[in-house]
Structure 1
């Protein structure tokens, strides 16, 4: 009994911290309408600043707390308010991108400033004082402090929100900013107060929990999963229920630590328990319509058959160029462009067409890699489609809870699924189910080989690179044709309005299961290709945190654009790897670029995505015969010169980049030269004779305006 009470005290002290962090999350969502995925990262940064002041610079703990909570946290809150102010008028996906970008960016900034290879610890508060004894139970002063702080926060927030004018303004702002302004209140000031208080609470939680865990950027940032679970208990609205949820989460973790049986299969369960509880809470508790939800959606480009086939050919051509120009060691690094491209492409039908937000695509890619590694240990060709089927089955299972979830709730659910895979499933040793032996990463890494096709085993990295390029080209063409097919149009309708889609006879269950399964199968293929490229992969390469930059790059490119796959692979496996090698001083800055791009996208700087601008520029290049000839002729000359070793790789790269920059501008200048007046789409066939080229122009115009 004494042990049970002791674990209960530990659980309550941890629950107190989760309650403080979760209440800050609920506060910002209730008052601004923005669910802050970077809330835990704000607490993490505060904990690191506190460590720097106390351990790094030797300031007294009391003074360091005053500096962090009185100076750093308020300024940090104002920065969040300024950065996320544009997000309040955006839809769910755009808000998600902004906060996920901040989460990823802050973790990378923390690793940039504080070397992750150096171990750091924080002493507990009042560690030199003798602990309290309540009967046979020992309570440290740090544990007592966390409980006192949680109670003070609960009382203070209740008074602020329901007994003060400022609190009323904060709660009213999210519903109707204009109406609040008519009452004489300042909605911008109310939002700033909300962000300052929310980040203040995250900072308090970060400082209190940092002495109890390792001072690691990713670990501290993902402790927010426990706070997410507590906040979902309160349905992102109720502070008392949030505190109750925190008690459930904290005590569950503590009792699992004390009473979980000792075997090789269960240690990860304790680490994954908050994420599992989050999934259960998402499925059991009813969720109302997300306040501040905006249904203004960007149009999805309608690709042509000819254009899609041409782009597929370009992808294969790029693969052949890389395979013939790069060395074996360089191909292992940069050849993964196509594997990451396939994983990035998996977002297009799911998020771009159907509007279903997923943060677990890289984790599903890990399932595909593991399945192929075990089924195709000797290069059996059928192991690749089998791995896609297995990954697609997992995607179909994810679709079942997706029927109850949308927007930020679906993002939370898929993030929780990824965390469960990271912390538990991928760490399991081999096990048997109904006599069938199942092996994952087996607490290590798995080896992959190229498949045997038409009697030929793909053994070299160059062969696997070309094969991956062909796979990306085929998948890209198939996804483009899906957009033109009836099922693709139904997915667009589902994205526009699930209720209207169901009312008009659409089957939501079938639609979601099919698109989740298709997306997961594509991601599984990408994971298998990535494993082939590297020859060996481990679970850490498919973690939740590792997948965030991929999601951000796809969003930057444009979720509905088929070219997002190649763009993502080229950006993630290209410059993000090449620049640190060429310019080591820029390593940390390069890693932050996806986060900066995600913030810029959400702020409206990129509009519908980077590919929309690139498509407009390169369409002019491909339409102009002279410019098109210079492009292909110049690339062929550079390629042959490199094969003959007349030029080196740097000259080839410089020439290709020069062509990519100069030719679109040249084509644009030629297109602006005086020519016959442009006829509006509505007057085609009236002001001048109808031509066959006008049909494609009219189709594009209708698709863009629909």
Structure 2
């Protein structure tokens, strides 16, 4: 009986903290329509700030709490809404998700910047760990009692706010019809900002309360994921009902503690199962609870993508292979392996182009499917032993097929889900895989056979060898992966240009309209999920082989979120976006950060500056991701549109190509360093459209844009400014004179 009471109290305490965190999610979602994936990161950052105030600067507990909850929490929420969330109302669901994921990753980087992860930090319970009372023979600490009482107070307070006050009712109407709310005398933006301030404060409070309960150690990634467990409680209330959210949180807390109390100690997977329980509950809740009806209208967003023809795709695929080979000639062996890893990430990102860019379905755990394929290939696809061991074709084929089947099984119960619900379901699967499968290092026995899923916590996957093709050679490996990406990219574009691809696009624009035209949404979703999972699995096998040895951290959910974020930033509707997103996620920012670290070691007198740039580079991916709200179509789209305008400005294109070619020759001969070549090439690629506007404006700009640039002071015309047809037209517009279309001098006189 004492055991039951003890673990019941502990479950209620944990459920109370989940409830506090989940209520903040419900609050912000109901007023903005944005599910805040950064909620756990806000809780983490708030806990670190409280630690700095209370233990770092030794302020009194009450003062530290007041600053954290009255100042830091509300300002954090207000800043996020006013600066970022406010501009996301007319963007696609994937853009909203990516922006909040970017904030999550940015807050993690900021925590590592200011509080080094290798330095131990602990937080004690309020009134100390020994201050306790006895309830039914079990001890409950004051801190734990505070958690329960605060949770009850928040539940009652929010219930009264939403049902008994005009402000609360208005908050619930903000996301449904802000214009109608404005007609009734309310300011929707002010109400949404207020709710984000309140939600952020609840997140900070949850982070401060849960840290001492979970052991007291402050670790950024762990604390972020710990609060993310509250997602299941929020979904139990369908992001609307505060009472149901609190019930779900309590059930979740009790279930986790009862697993520890009553599962047999001989079960080696008990601890992993308890950690995975919230994600299992999240997946089950998403499947069981009824979903919203299909929308009949086409969704109008600001995202715009252009799908190239298959012929153009083939040309650019061949060009990519040639470019990568030319770049290889400048590289040392270690850099070749690094680029190879980046190309494998690009293959995984290609699965997102098909699934999200073309079909509109969301997968927040693409790298997790790569983990499945890696495990299968490791157990069934290695021939030989020792130094002669190599990966065979059978291992890759089986790994890809198994991953495609598992992708279908994961998607099958989730086929009725859309948008946010589907994103959360795939995230739950990714976290579950990390906690249950990738942590399974113990040896099992089945049917007389002994096996371990993730032996010793690491998997060493040798290179592929098929006849004369041996990927143990770094150059061969790089060119093979590049050629494979090109082939898959052309295949994905061909698929999009086919009837099947047009059905995917129709399903993305209007699921209800697609269903009314006789399309099977279940079949479409299942097939695209399986194809996408197979591509991700292939990329995962090649990534593991390129790395040589991988651990569970190589496939963590944060890796998947980073890859998704950077692919969306680059342009998730483009194969080129997958290329740039994969390269940046796999190697781009990591190489930059390592370079700054090496410079700091080599130049001690400038160490501070180089370390500052290193930290800025760590935060920069998140800052770029946050900016995707202003350009939801991605960077590749902007670049492509810029080059479309240079069609009639061939001298500019030829000049840019000449500069890149000359720089390459100088780098190849050793006159310039590789970093200079890379910097100049990137600058030319991105600045060429701008140079085209400056050098050949008439060939690049539209008449309206030329007129806008031709604004001059009338008194200067004919004196300091030459009298040109553009200026004449501008003056005519200002005076309201009909535009002169050209003709004889007599017609010109009549026009004047």
The question of a shared fold, defined as TM-score above 0.5 by the shorter chain, is answered with yes
Match of 2:524 among 511, 516, 522: 511
Cα distance in 1 for partners of 2:130, 2:228 equals 32
Matches within 5 A, 1:313-392: 313-377=318-382, 378-392=390-404
Task: Report what 2:189 is aligned to.
Answer: 188
8 Å contact from structure 2 (residues 354, 528) kept in 1: yes
8 Å contact from structure 1 (residues 464, 532) kept in 2: no
Task: Report what 1:683 is aligned to.
Answer: none
Match of 1:312 among 317, 322, 343: 317
For the residue of structure 2 that corresponds to 1:382, the secondary structure is helix
8 Å contact from structure 2 (residues 511, 521) kept in 1: yes
Matched, 1:15 2:15: yes
Task: Report what 2:4 is aligned to.
Answer: 4
Cα distance in 2 for partners of 1:149, 1:62 equals 16
Task: Report what 2:583 is aligned to.
Answer: 570
Match of 1:498 among 507, 511, 516: 511
Cα distance in 1 for partners of 2:39, 2:207 equals 10
Q: Deviations over 1:501-550 (max 9, x none)?
A: 22221112221111011111111111112112211111101100122121
Task: Report what 1:685 is aligned to.
Answer: none
8 Å contact from structure 1 (residues 620, 668) kept in 2: no
Q: 1:493–1:137: structure 2 CA closer, same or farther, 3 Å change rule?
A: same
Q: 1:436–1:284: structure 2 CA closer, same or farther, 3 Å change rule?
A: farther
Of the structure 1 ranges 454-463 and 7-16, higher mean CA displacement relative to structure 2 is found in: 454-463
Q: 1:137–1:248: structure 2 CA closer, same or farther, 3 Å change rule?
A: same
Cα distance in 1 for partners of 2:191, 2:700 equals 55
Cα distance in 2 for partners of 1:660, 1:91 equals 28
Q: 1:130–1:609: structure 2 CA closer, same or farther, 3 Å change rule?
A: closer
Cα distance in 2 for partners of 1:187, 1:631 equals 49
Matches within 5 A, 1:251-290: 251-262=254-265, 263-288=267-292
8 Å contact from structure 1 (residues 43, 206) kept in 2: yes
Task: Report what 1:46 is aligned to.
Answer: 46
Match of 1:485 among 483, 498, 508: 498
Q: 1:449–1:631: structure 2 CA closer, same or farther, 3 Å change rule?
A: farther
Matches within 5 A, 1:145-294: 145-213=146-214, 214-262=217-265, 263-288=267-292
Cα distance in 1 for partners of 2:130, 2:692 equals 75
Unpaired runs of at least 5, structure 2: 383-389, 598-610, 704-752
Cα distance in 2 for partners of 1:432, 1:521 equals 29
Task: Report what 1:56 is aligned to.
Answer: 56
Task: Report what 2:68 is aligned to.
Answer: 68
Shift of 1:500: 1.9
Matches within 5 A, 1:601-640: 601-602=628-629, 604=630, 606-619=631-644, 639=664
Shift of 1:128: 6.1
For the residue of structure 2 that corresponds to 1:326, the secondary structure is coil
8 Å contact from structure 1 (residues 427, 443) kept in 2: no
Shift of 1:639: 4.9
Cα distance in 2 for partners of 1:432, 1:669 equals 71
Cα distance in 2 for partners of 1:353, 1:244 equals 39
Q: Using structure 1 for the length normalisation, give the TM-score.
A: 0.90
Q: Using structure 2 for the length normalisation, give the TM-score.
A: 0.85
* Structure with bigger gyration radius: 2
Task: Report what 2:714 is aligned to.
Answer: none
Task: Report what 1:591 is aligned to.
Answer: 618
Q: Deviations over 1:101-120 (max 9, x none)?
A: 21121122111111111111
Of the structure 1 ranges 350-359 and 442-451, higher mean CA displacement relative to structure 2 is found in: 442-451
Cα distance in 1 for partners of 2:99, 2:134 equals 47
Q: 1:416–1:503: structure 2 CA closer, same or farther, 3 Å change rule?
A: same
Task: Report what 2:455 is aligned to.
Answer: 442
Shift of 1:267: 2.4
Shift of 1:659: 4.1
Shift of 1:462: 2.1
Cα distance in 2 for partners of 1:382, 1:633 equals 46
Of the structure 1 ranges 372-381 and 27-36, higher mean CA displacement relative to structure 2 is found in: 372-381
8 Å contact from structure 2 (residues 269, 440) kept in 1: yes
Corresponding residue pairs, total: 675
Shift of 1:630: 5.7
Task: Report what 1:420 is aligned to.
Answer: 432
Q: 1:663–1:226: structure 2 CA closer, same or farther, 3 Å change rule?
A: closer
Cα distance in 1 for partners of 2:530, 2:673 equals 44
Shift of 1:80: 2.3
8 Å contact from structure 2 (residues 43, 227) kept in 1: no
Matches within 5 A, 1:645-660: 645=670, 647-660=672-685
8 Å contact from structure 1 (residues 90, 294) kept in 2: no
Match of 2:482 among 469, 472, 496: 469
8 Å contact from structure 1 (residues 396, 517) kept in 2: yes
Cα distance in 1 for partners of 2:669, 2:205 equals 63
Matched, 1:531 2:531: no
8 Å contact from structure 1 (residues 447, 535) kept in 2: yes
For the residue of structure 1 that corresponds to 2:134, the secondary structure is strand
Alignment root-mean-square deviation, CA: 2.6
Shift of 1:658: 5.0
For the residue of structure 2 that corresponds to 1:537, the secondary structure is strand
8 Å contact from structure 1 (residues 173, 191) kept in 2: yes
Q: Deviations over 1:246-273 (max 9, x none)?
A: 1111011111122222333332111101
Q: Deviations over 1:134-159 (max 9, x none)?
A: 23111111111111111111111112
Cα distance in 1 for partners of 2:167, 2:203 equals 20
For the residue of structure 2 that corresponds to 1:295, the secondary structure is coil
Task: Report what 1:92 is aligned to.
Answer: 93
Cα distance in 2 for partners of 1:22, 1:215 equals 21
Q: Deviations over 1:360-402 (max 9, x none)?
A: 1011122222333333322212322322112211211122122
For the residue of structure 2 that corresponds to 1:346, the secondary structure is helix
Shift of 1:299: 4.0
Cα distance in 2 for partners of 1:90, 1:622 equals 30
Shift of 1:61: 0.8
8 Å contact from structure 2 (residues 464, 471) kept in 1: yes
Q: Deviations over 1:327-356 (max 9, x none)?
A: 122223233221111111110110011100
Cα distance in 1 for partners of 2:678, 2:276 equals 45
For the residue of structure 1 that corresponds to 2:392, the secondary structure is coil
Shift of 1:450: 2.0
8 Å contact from structure 1 (residues 359, 547) kept in 2: yes
Task: Report what 1:555 is aligned to.
Answer: 568
